[in-house]
Amino acid sequence: MTKVFLSAKLPELATDVLKQSGIKVATYEGEGLIGHDELVAAVADVDYLITPLSTTVDQAVIDAAPKLKIIANFGAGFNNIDTAYAKQRGIVVTNTPAVSTNAVAEVTIGLMLALSHRIVEGDQLMRSTGFDGWAPLFFLGHEIAGKTLGIVGLGNIGSDAARKANALGLNVQYYKPNQLSDPEERSMRVTYAPFDELVKTSDFITINAPQTPQNHHQFDAAVFKQMKSTAAIINVGRGPIIDEAALLAALTAGEIGGAALDVYENEPHVADGFKALKNVILTPHVGNATVEARDAMAKIVADNVALVDQGQPAKYVVNR
């Protein structure tokens, strides 16, 4: 019987599919994330590996698994895996694209609304000192309708965020390496802007892009100085796209108005300086943390392992 190792606990749907396919399932049962040495030891006799994007699968892990045929990554990203070395070893690497689109787009909009209306800040106030009562100038925020949203990365998630933003009355502009066609832009009600222009003219900037070598620290000190002093930045893409030291300096100096971070440069570590700022919202990488999205992701990784076990090609291969 072939064997799959799950390096983290997954929704039951995944194990159900795998067991129905006649595959022996072993799961990491420890607290927190699996350690690198533990992962190396665990894959010695496995045919398949399912792992979350928070776990590094490097050359050492791959070398420790001589029977390995597929690494099914539980997540849309896959920068945690040495995909080139896996390809060299003849190992397929897959991801779970698209199914978390709605969840992450909803979080994008939710964080924007929370920043604008100071919802988290208000909750903290009510849990501490409370307030004296309604007053005309008390605890004012801003409406988002009529404001300009700049989306960096207009893939599935960015496009869905654009549709939701349009429904809320925002003017949407975007930046991506390849501009959409005019009919596509008109149908989505978005306008292309060069990166520098988007930075200077947006009231909100959302990062909905995957991590690439080209966009490491795309948002640095120089970029924050170009933003409006009232503008807010929201990162639900990947942490290293922002130079967090530069962001913290810009927030502290009042160069920009606020930030909401769901991903971090040195995840899961969060710099203490951010925690002290009232105009910053910090969430623990929950962009696609919904029952619906995680179940859909579980089905993809389990189905891919079952396909390979049956001698069929996997779907969503990222190192073809």
HSE-CB for 138 with a 13 A CA cutoff: 9
- What pLDDT, on a 0 to 100 scale, did the predictor assign at position 241? 97
Active site residue 142: no
* Residue among 106, 185, 197, 267 flagged as catalytic: 267
Q: In terms of C-beta density within 10 A (0-12 exposed, 13-18 middle, 19 or more buried), how is residue 176 classed?
A: middle
- What pLDDT, on a 0 to 100 scale, did the predictor assign at position 77? 86
Active site residue 267: yes
Residue 143 — very low, low, confident or very high, per pLDDT cuts 50/70/90?
Answer: very high
pLDDT at 239 over 90: yes
**Tens digits of residue pLDDT in 178-208:** 999 999 999 999 999 999 999 999 999 999 9
- What pLDDT, on a 0 to 100 scale, did the predictor assign at position 200? 98
- Record the pTM: 0.92
* Residue among 121, 238, 255, 265 flagged as catalytic: 238
pLDDT over 70 for what percent of the chain? Answer: 100
Measured between alpha carbons, how far is 179 from 188 in angstroms, rounded to an integer?
A: 13
Structure tokens at 62: 């791959």
pLDDT over 90 for what percent of the chain? Answer: 97
Q: What's the mean per-residue pLDDT of the chain?
A: 97
Residue 15 — very low, low, confident or very high, per pLDDT cuts 50/70/90?
Answer: very high
* Helix, strand, or coil (residue 281): strand
* Residue among 36, 89, 117, 285 flagged as catalytic: 285
Other beta carbons within 10 Å of 254:
9
Q: In terms of C-beta density within 10 A (0-12 exposed, 13-18 middle, 19 or more buried), how is residue 207 classed?
A: buried
**Tens digits of residue pLDDT in 249-284:** 999 999 999 999 999 999 999 999 999 999 999 999
What average pLDDT does range 126-151 have in this prediction?
97
209 neighbors 234 (Cβ within 8 angstroms)? no
Other beta carbons within 10 Å of 252:
12
Q: Is the peptide bond before 194 cis (omega within 30 degrees of 0)?
A: no
The 10 Å CB-count burial string (b at 16+, else e) for 263-293 is bbbeeeebeeebeeeebbbebebebbebeeb
**Tens digits of residue pLDDT in 56-80:** 999 999 999 999 999 999 998 898 9
